[in-house]
Amino acid sequence: MSADRLLDDLWGEDLPGNPANTLQTKVSQLRRALGDRELVTYQPTGYSLVSDSVDAIEFARLLAGALASDDLRVKADLLSDALALWRGPAYADFRDSFAHAAASRLDEQRLTALEEQAEVRLALGEHSRLADELGELVAAHPLRERLRAAHLRALYRSGRQSEALAGYAELRELLADELGLDPGPELVALHQAILVQDPALTPAPAASSTNLPAQLTSLIGRDGAVAEVRAMLDSSRLVTLTGPGGVGKTRLALAAAASVELPGGVWLVELAGAVGQVAELVAAALGIRDETSTPPQVPVPDLAHRLADALRGQRLLLVLDNCEHLVEEVAALVDLLLRKAPGVRVLATSQESLALPGERLFVVPPLDQPSAVAMFAERSGTPLDAGSTPWVEAICRRLDGLPLALELAAARARALGVQGVAERLDDRFRLLGVAGRGRPARQRTLRAVIDWSWEQLTEPQRTAMLALAVHPGGCTLEAAEAVGVDLHLLDELVGRSMVTGAPRYRLLESVAAYCLERLEQDDPVYGLRDAYYTELAVRAAPHLYGSAQRQWLVRLDEEALNLRAVLDSAGSPRLVEALTWYWYLRGRHQEGYRHTKGTAWGSGFALLAGAGRTDDIDFPDARSRWFLAHACLHFGDVNTAVGLLDEALAGFRAQDDRWGEAAALAGRAKQAMFQGDFDLAASSATQSMTIFSELGDRWGQLQASDMLGYLAEVTGDYARAARLHRQGLRIAEDLRLWTDVSYRLSSLGRIALLTGELERSADLHEQGRRLAGEQGNRFAEEFARVGLGLVARRSGELDRAEELFLESLAWNRRLETEFGVPFYGVTLILAELGFIASGRGEAAAARALHLEGLAAAREVGDPRSVALAQEGLAEVAALEGAFEEASRLLAEAAELRESVGAPLPPAERGDVERILGMIAARPSADRA
């Protein structure tokens, strides 16, 4: 922007005395405020901001990418990232006229992004959650027809047809009154479709979840094999494809798996290049967080058993690819999964069987001659005619129908012609005839073709192949360049079918193994690789605490195998430090603990991974001290957390660490809620939310919104509570924090319960319970189960409610009696069981339950829980005719609730009003 334009925008006609100098001073101040001189550059044409640092430009880039994408998941992620950049109205701090047009344009783009996001989420089957979220947006922008249409569809698909029709009527009236218009034709057609319950409005069944890669080439000659493997999967829970390298096991497995439809989806776990920790790789592929909900006092099963527990109720297919180098570890895990999780099926590829009971083996044959000829012709682009066909047939016979060998030879045919390939192959096999006699015939064939292909490479191409082989997870162009491989070399190797193409370059497994055999352990390329991925992690680390959080999580996910390879070979403390927060956010606690053991961060990971508490560690910085406090709060250990949080908060403020301050404040809010100090909880959570929002850290906003949502629920502001919990739900889903998703669903279920939407409450709690079970998180599962019990009691289903509460109580009592673990929710369970007993007229049983609840509440120190127990005892007193005692207990309970600023909201006064009714209806003789 030119200096003249800046002067005009900033001062207009009221220019300062020395405009040029004043402008330069302002630019210097701006650079200091931004903390980086390079962000504001000057050229003869004027000043400019580095575009990557401008949220508005980043928002426009992400929105354009979303609008251009045909992939719904990609589109949804880009829109979430774009909308996460917003903190409020565009340029709200600027009242100057120069900002008005830009602000209006951005606000309009934001609404467009919200409308696009709504339609994408509808297409992804998220209508149930979307129906409530869009209600607030429609209320704020009642005349936007596209937004209204999305809301009507969401309502209709959620079984709320009358609300959808009412929404249309409201829009029609508003348009007529304010603009003198009728709804557009699209909305009129939608209204008519809703009226007649058009089947076209019913959402298509959601596609099974999968991470299977898209295939770029056709599969030739395998129709019969695919059908046979598919039939074996129908009748057996473990099928293993065996055969030599290069025979096409992986490709056949992917084709067979792609035709499988199971509720839990189909999931590929790539084991090539892995050195162990198979359970961690499976958990990561399935998105199952390696986090234990078990307190430190309780023995924790290993990850394999926790994985089996998480999969116990699921029906899915695991595709374990390239198992041969880890066959014993894979076999042990598969055996456990098949025994503990009856809905799990496994399709494995390996050069040897897993040797497990019930395993069905399918020996993958080479391609028959016609199929081999067809494949070679297609891959090489050779027309089959009288001149070429005999040579192609000879090549296919010589290569034993091995698909990989055919691929490599076909790539050479483009340069040499089919006759040239055939003649050179004959020479190669004569040379290797004696040297390779110790290997099986087909193994000799593949080795010969790879040798021959290798010899055709130039020296720079060979060096590039070796450099690419050290990336077990494939690599980006940037990573390839870091180890000395440029784009020109990559294009040449892709053209020779030695490397698969962009966006991730990868050697075929047999070719990679061949290259690794040629590399010395101390080859400098390993050092180059390690340096690149270390720098990548260091570059990513600060972004994991800001607005680009999700993008960098995905980026590190893509490099997980490569990062593991670096860590397993010579991972530096610098790399470990850079990855600690990534491991936490992704729930890879065992992996985090393994690499941080003996360090300050390792203490927190030890608790989270179920390895117990380590007390002999120094905490050199506030963040590691906060992390341990955070882990302690996860298990309700408030006493330990309090001191750590105070020290961490003081340290953060001394260092002006805004993220740390916000994190410590969120922890303090949680601590205060445990202790019933709602004023401190509210102020701490509000400050935390403000800072995290300024920083753009969505994980942090999730923590703060949880506290604020609960506080809103306690004070009876259910609309705000629902809004906060929906906000948290979206963040948790975007960041794949599935345990948090479960808690948010159940929290929304609590709000639906309090607003009288019992059917919806039961549905939300059941969703939360099911997801918690899939993650193997018992605490989240019990939170949902208690919610289902609350719904059952409010619905009058006392037997069902009692069954649910007794199941939760038994689990809590086992934790306390066997391991000394107090659980803060036990007071609610005991109170509910007491009210059920009172409802049946069983006063003695009710008294015992409420007295136990009162003792537990006093031990915990939560005034609201004490009040709840007193209210239960008041009902017992009323049942026994002790009406004065009942009145006294109710008054004490009300006073306790008032003392912490949390009187019972109207929706939660059902039990108290019933007891007051009993007191009011007492015989007249008892009134004297």
Mean pLDDT lowest among 400-404, 622-626, 693-697: 400-404
Residue 432's pLDDT is what?
Answer: 42
Q: Beta-carbon neighbour count of residue 89 at 10 Å?
A: 11
pLDDT digits (tens, 9 = 90+) for 338-359: 999 999 999 999 999 999 999 9
Give me the residue label for tokens 């319960």.
753
Range of the domain at 748: 737-821
Distance (Å, rounded) from C-alpha 445 to C-alpha 405?
A: 8
Q: Where are the alpha helices (DSSP H) in 267-380?
A: 278-286, 303-310, 327-340, 369-380
- On whether residue 604 sits in a domain, the answer given is no
Residue 87 has a pLDDT of 80
Q: What tokens were used for 5?
A: 């334009």
Q: 0.85 exceeded by the pTM?
A: no
Which of 131-140, 191-200, 291-300 is the least confident region? 291-300
Question: 324-328, 478-482, 590-594, 632-636: lowest mean pLDDT where?
Answer: 632-636
How does pLDDT run across 918-928, given as a tens digit for each residue?
Answer: 999 887 666 55
Residues 12, 15, 17: CA angle, nearest 5 degrees: 175
The confidence score (pLDDT) of residue 439 equals 44
* Most confident among 71-80, 98-107, 764-773 (mean pLDDT): 764-773
Give domain status of residue 770, yes or no: yes
The answer to whether the CB of 305 falls within 8 A of the CB of 333 is no
Boundary (domain end) residue, out of 803, 821, 839? 821
Which range has the top average pLDDT, 55-64, 164-173, 630-639? 164-173
CATH of the domain at 239: 3.40.50.300
Q: Are residues 292 and 319 in the same domain?
A: yes
With respect to residue 102, please indicate whether it lies within any of the assigned structural domains.
Answer: yes
For the ranges 133-147, 431-445, 762-776, the lowest mean pLDDT is seen at 431-445
Q: Residue 126 is encoded by which pair of tokens? A: 């998220």
466-500, pLDDT tens digit by residue?
999 999 999 999 999 999 999 999 999 988 878 88
Give a yes or no: residue 509 inside a domain. no
pLDDT of residue 539 exceeding 60, the answer is: yes
Burial class (CB in 10 A: 0-12, 13-18, 19+), 253: buried
Are residue 62 and residue 188 in the same domain, yes or no? yes
Is the residue at 516 inside a domain? no
* CA–CA gap between residue 446 and residue 407 (Å, rounded): 11
CA atoms of 392 and 374, how far apart (whole Å): 9
Contact 377, 392 (CB under 8 A): yes
Q: What is the pLDDT of residue 295?
A: 63
How far apart are the C-alpha atoms of 191 and 774, rounded to whole Å?
Answer: 39
Same domain for 292 and 334, yes or no, is: yes
pLDDT at residue 679, as a whole number: 92
Which is more confidently placed, 795 or 818?
795
pLDDT score recorded for residue 484: 95
Residues 196, 65 share a domain: yes
Q: Looking at residue 28, what is its pLDDT?
A: 80
For 205, the token pair is 């069944």
Q: What percent of the chain has pLDDT over 90?
A: 56
> Between 206 and 896, where is the model more confident?
896
The pLDDT of residue 820 is 59
Contact by Cβ (8 Å): 510, 349: no
Of 802, 821, 840, the residue at which a domain comes to its end is 821
Please identify which residue in the block is written with the tokens 């374990």.
320
CA 865: distance to chain centroid? 34
707 vs 673: CA distance, rounded Å:
8
**Count of CA atoms in the C-beta half-sphere (13 A) of 732:** 23
636, 693: one domain:
yes
Q: pLDDT confidence of 116, banded at 50, 70, 90?
A: very high
Q: Strand 266-270 to strand 360-363: parallel, antiparallel, or no bridges (unpaired)?
A: unpaired
Domain boundary among 431, 456, 481: 456
What confidence tens digit (pLDDT) does each residue in 746-802 have? 999 999 999 999 999 999 999 999 999 988 888 899 999 999 999 999 999 999 999
More confident residue, 7 or 865: 865
Determine the pLDDT at residue 321.
94
Span 296-301, average pLDDT: 69
Burial class (CB in 10 A: 0-12, 13-18, 19+), 222: buried
Torsion of CA 642, 643, 646, 648, to 10 degrees: -110
Q: Is the peptide bond before 390 cis (omega within 30 degrees of 0)?
A: no
Region 512-540 average pLDDT = 93
Report yes or no: 310 and 774 within 8 Å, Cβ to Cβ.
Answer: yes
Q: What is the pLDDT of residue 431?
A: 46
Q: What percent of the chain has pLDDT over 70?
A: 93
Say if residues 860 and 827 touch (Cβ distance below 8 Å). yes
Q: Domain total for the chain?
A: 7
Bridge partners (DSSP) listed for residue 363: 242
Contact by Cβ (8 Å): 362, 242: yes
End-to-end CA distance of the chain: 87
Per-residue pLDDT, 510? 83
Q: Cβ contacts of residue 811 below 8 Å, gap of 6+?
A: 778, 782
d(CA 919, CA 574): 69
| Nearest by Cα to 508 from 469, 555, 477, 558 | 469
**Is 15 a domain residue?**
yes
Write out pLDDT tens, residues 806-815: 999 988 887 7
- Measured CA to CA, the distance from residue 702 to residue 689 in angstroms comes to 9
Calculate mean pLDDT across residues 449-470.
91
SS3 at position 28? helix
For residue 747, give the CATH number of its domain: 1.25.40.10
Using DSSP, state whether 42 is helix, strand or coil.
strand
| Mean pLDDT, range 712-738, rounded to an integer | 93
Helices 658-674 and 698-714 pack at an angle, to 10 degrees, of 30
User: Does residue 207 register a pLDDT over 60?
Assistant: no
Q: What are phi and psi of 586, to 5 degrees?
A: -90, 0
Whether residue 808 is contained in a domain is answered as yes
Backbone angles phi, psi at 96, to 5 degrees: -65, 150
Residue 374 has pLDDT above 90, yes or no: yes
pLDDT of residue 754: 95
Strands 360-363 and 238-242 turn out to be: parallel
Q: What is the pLDDT of residues 218-230, one digit of tens each?
A: 899 999 999 999 9
Whether the pLDDT of residue 52 is over 70: the answer is no
- Which range has the worst mean pLDDT, 14-23, 691-700, 772-781? 14-23
pLDDT at 25 over 90: no
* C-alpha–C-alpha distance, residues 303 and 128, integer Å: 33
Q: What tokens appear for 801 in the block? A: 């409610």
**Cβ contact 636:824 at 8 Å:** yes
With 0-12 / 13-18 / 19 or more C-beta atoms within 10 angstroms meaning exposed / middle / buried, residue 758 is: middle
Residues 260 and 316 both lie in one domain: yes
Same domain, 294 and 427: no
| Domain identity same for 834 and 797 | no
Tell me the pLDDT of the chain averaged across its residues: 88
User: Position of tokens 């390792």?
Assistant: 602
Q: Which amino acid is at 321?
A: D
Same domain? 64 vs 169:
yes
List C-alpha distances in Å: 328 to 254, 331, 803.
Answer: 23, 5, 43
428 and 317 share a domain? Answer: no
Distance CA 631, CA 622 (A): 14
What tokens appear for 899 in the block? 């003392």
- Residue 88 has a pLDDT of 79
Q: Which residue has the higher pLDDT, 743 or 215?
A: 743
Residue 819 has pLDDT above 60, yes or no: no
353 shares its domain with 374? no
Per-residue confidence band for 585, with pLDDT thresholds at 50, 70 and 90: very high
477 assigned to some structural domain: no
- Kindly give the residue spans of alpha helices, DSSP state H, lying in 341-387: 369-380
Rounded average pLDDT over 168-192 = 91
Angstrom distances, CA of residue 435 to CA of 429, 431, 444, 448: 10, 8, 9, 10
Contact yes or no for 316/345 (Cβ under 8 A): yes
Residues 832 and 809 in one domain: no
